[in-house]
Every structure is written in structure tokens, then in C-alpha cells.
Structure 1
């Protein structure tokens, strides 16, 4: 069996979840990283649909970060991605779905709301990515069109960003209460998909240095966003994410 190919938007938090999952499971893979919009063609060419992450395996394409995690769990059960008991598995799966649906779309929309108006910021961030040079040259040219498409697809408006802010605040409060007793993991006594999913999807508003691709510097964002993100870093949930990244995010060899 050849190593699977992971097609990503390099700085996407769902793609970080997929990378971290495969790394944790010890499954060798190749990554084909791309910039937003350009990723769709790369995914289709590789045999997937349009969205990233997409894992291209000998068995076909897997087009969702959670499906990638379930695939990895079947191939590396010793990694205990979903815990050590059926009770733990049910709790981890429920938390993973909760974070996928109620956190990931909102951290993405909130941070893009502040990033997209600044074309120079997007250009600088794109230039830092491990993505094809041609995409880096073309994105500034096509960015006005790409920006319109992203705003429409993710409903990035002032009202939408405000709703997402509330969702993030409530999620951080919920997880903060869960970890305020000092527990090292959300479920059980080892790192699982509950921890990987929460940490990955929260990371774009916390900017941990161990993240698997360059993220936007906090100081590059508007002061309002920077202040909010620094405050989140100091919450119990934010500190939990920082510790999980520091202790458990390992780059693959």
C-alpha cells in the first residue's frame, strides 16, 4: 500500500485536525498543501471532491476530517484515538461532533471576518505557506474574486461574526469548566480525538506556535481582534489548548 496523500488548505484548522490525527496514529502520509480556492482543483485532480482535507488512499478518497479520523482509528487501533472503552468512545465521538459543528465553523468565520478586508495581510500570510509558488503569485491577482466567494460560502458578515463570537465564548466557557479541575485530557487518561479536535479548531483564534502551518500573527490583526484573542489565551480553555499543543503536537519525521 502506498502512503496516502493528504490534500489540504495549509492553514485550515480542519486540515490541522487531519494532519494531527495521522501523526498521532503514526500513519505515514504525503501532504499536498494549497491556498484557498486553488485547493478545489487540487482535490479534484487527486481524486477527491472539492473540499479539504481530502485523504487519497488506495481504497479511494476520504473527504472529511472526522471520516479521516475514523479511517486512521481502524488502521491504528493501538493509538486509542477514540479511547480505551466503549463508554469513552461514545463520549469522544459526541465531543468531536460537537466541536466540528459548534466551534470549527465559528472560529473560521470570526477570524476571516477580520482578515479578509486586509488584502496585504492575506498576501503576507499566503506567502508564508508551504504551497505551490504559482498559487502564491496568482492569489493576489484573483483575491478580490476569491474574497467574494469566501464571504458568500461562509456567510462572513458583521452579524455572522457577532453570532460566531457568541458561539466561541460559550464553547470556551463550557470547556473551561470541564478542565478547570486540572485534568490533562478531556476524556480518559490519554490524548484522543476529543483533545485533537478541540485544540485544532480553537487554534486559529489562539495561534499556538506548534500549529502545523503558519498562522496569522495576532499583532497583524485589528486591535479589537487581537485583544479578544489574547483574552481567550488566558482562559482555562485557551491554556488547555496551549498545553495540548505544547505537549502533544509533534511534527512528523
Structure 2
């Protein structure tokens, strides 16, 4: 595949999302110049559906190729840009890293999303700042006005009123963090002696819990009490300490050109 310029590589993203942080990190780790197109949750649907036939982000365009999902994006970037590999050379370690990424993406990622929406749904100002803080004031005000409709739709999809489901998802967060902490080896990583996609996946997906300042995910200042209390539940977990260390050691700077 021939990539002529950064204009040939475009990441369609949510600026605040933990899954999207993983895709950003992979591009930055590889040092791949690229354009980032930040979309607002809700209004993003027609844009992403036209590109992919589905509605989830992140989506990466490389020339005429469209790649959906942070996990697939990381693996495809490792194929196209082999420098600074994220998959271990050892086949068994590579399989372990891929399986850890899949486990984290399917468990911890959705659980954080669900619990965060439950914790923040009664704080529309905070939610608007979190999801639309990067856009102009007129767009942010329009988005704030549309939030009740958007949250009604999210509630229908995620079943946010189910208290038992909320507690189940909170339990899943704790279980996943315990698993991550238990797998940190003597080298400080999850799969081998070097930083791999398993470490990137775990650290990026846990960003909303650990809130490392190096993350390219904006967190509004002075969050309301409910948001602060939600974060405090896991902030000091050993896995979150490790996440912050991974960001310090490996996050680096943005390769985006915009």
C-alpha cells in the first residue's frame, strides 16, 4: 500500500472516547502523520454509516481502505507500518496479546461506557462539556439543547435504568482491573518484555478511570460530585497506577497534522 501524505490517512473519532484514544495512540506510536476528524455522538451517525454501514467509532481511512474498530485499526497499522511493532515476535506471546486486547475491549470497555453514562446522565452540562468541549460555542449550545433526546436514545440502547445491570457492570470493571493488575509481569508489561498492543489496549481503555494527564482525551475541570465520586471508586486501584505509568513511559506526542 502506498500512502502519499497525511491527507491519505484520516481518523474519524470521538475526541473523548477511550476506544478512540487507543486508535490515536497506535497512530502516534507508529509516528504516522494523519488527519483527525472529530465527530459529535449522535450527529456522527450519517457520516460513519455512509463510510462503513455501521455507526461505531473509531474509523480509520487509509487511502481507499476503511478500517473499523480500535482493535482492527491497531492490528492493521502494525501490518502496514512494521516499525515499532505492537505484536510480539513470539507467536504465543502475540496470540496472548491479541486475546488480552479482545478481552479488554469486550469487557472493560463497554462496562466503563455503561457506568459512566449512568453516573453522568443527570449532569447535562458536564456531559456536553465532555463530548462537545472541542467545538465552537454555537455548536456546543445546539448540542446541549439536543442532549435530552440523545440521552433518551442512549438509555434505550444501554438500559441505563436497570440498577442490577449497573452493579453488574461495576463488578466487571473491578474484575477487569484485578485481572490487569495480576498479569503485570516482572518487566512491567502484560505480554512479554516490551510494550505491546495488550498494554496499549488496557491503558487506553482504562483512561476514564485512571485519567492520566498524558492522554489525548479531554476531561472537563471541576466535575460535579456524582462524576467525581464515580471516578474515585477505582482511581487508586493498582491497575490504574500502572495505566498512569504506561502513559508516562509510552504515550508520546501526537502525530496528527491538524
TM-score calculated relative to the size of structure 1: 0.90
Q: Tell me how far 1:117 sits from its aligned partner.
A: 1.2
Whether 1:153 aligns to 2:127 is no
Cα pair 1:27 1:72 within 8 Å, conserved = no
Q: Tell me how far 1:42 sits from its aligned partner.
A: 3.0
Structure 2 counterpart of 1:206, from 184, 207, 210: 210
Q: Deviations over 1:203-225 (max 9, x none)?
A: 112222111121245x51435x5
Q: How does 1:206-245 map to 2 (within 5 A)?
A: 206-217=210-221, 220-223=223-226, 226-227=228-229, 229-245=231-247
Structure 1 counterpart of 2:199, from 195, 198, 201: 195
Structure 2 counterpart of 1:175, from 175, 180, 183: 180
Q: Tell me how far 1:141 sits from its aligned partner.
A: 1.4
Higher relative helix content:
1
The alignment partner of 1:77 has SS state of: coil
Between 1:53-62 and 1:95-104, the stretch displaced more is: 53-62
- Structure 1: give runs of 5+ residues left out of the alignment: none
Higher RCO (Cα < 8 Å, 6 or more apart): 2
40 and 198 in structure 1: CA distance in 2 versus 1, 3 angstrom threshold? same
234 and 66 in structure 1: CA distance in 2 versus 1, 3 angstrom threshold? same
Equivalent in the alignment of 2:10? 5
22 and 136 in structure 1: CA distance in 2 versus 1, 3 angstrom threshold? same
CA distance in 2, matches of 1:108, 1:192: 24
CA distance in 1, matches of 2:69, 2:9: 14
Q: Deviations over 1:213-242 (max 9, x none)?
A: 21245x51435x534533523221111001
Cα pair 1:7 1:32 within 8 Å, conserved = yes
Equivalent in the alignment of 2:87? 82
Cα pair 2:215 2:247 within 8 Å, conserved = yes
Equivalent in the alignment of 2:130? 125
Count of matched residue pairs: 248
CA distance in 1, matches of 2:40, 2:209: 19
Q: Tell me how far 1:101 sits from its aligned partner.
A: 0.6
TM-score calculated relative to the size of structure 2: 0.88
The ranges of structure 1 where at least 4 consecutive aligned residues each deviate by more than 6 angstroms after the TM superposition are none
Structure 2 counterpart of 1:143, from 147, 151, 157: 147
Q: How does 1:10-25 map to 2 (within 5 A)?
A: 10-25=15-30
The alignment partner of 1:90 has SS state of: helix
Q: Tell me how far 1:127 sits from its aligned partner.
A: 4.7
Q: Tell me how far 1:114 sits from its aligned partner.
A: 0.8
Cα pair 2:40 2:132 within 8 Å, conserved = no
Q: How does 1:62-77 map to 2 (within 5 A)?
A: 62-77=67-82
Equivalent in the alignment of 2:106? 101
Cα pair 2:133 2:140 within 8 Å, conserved = no
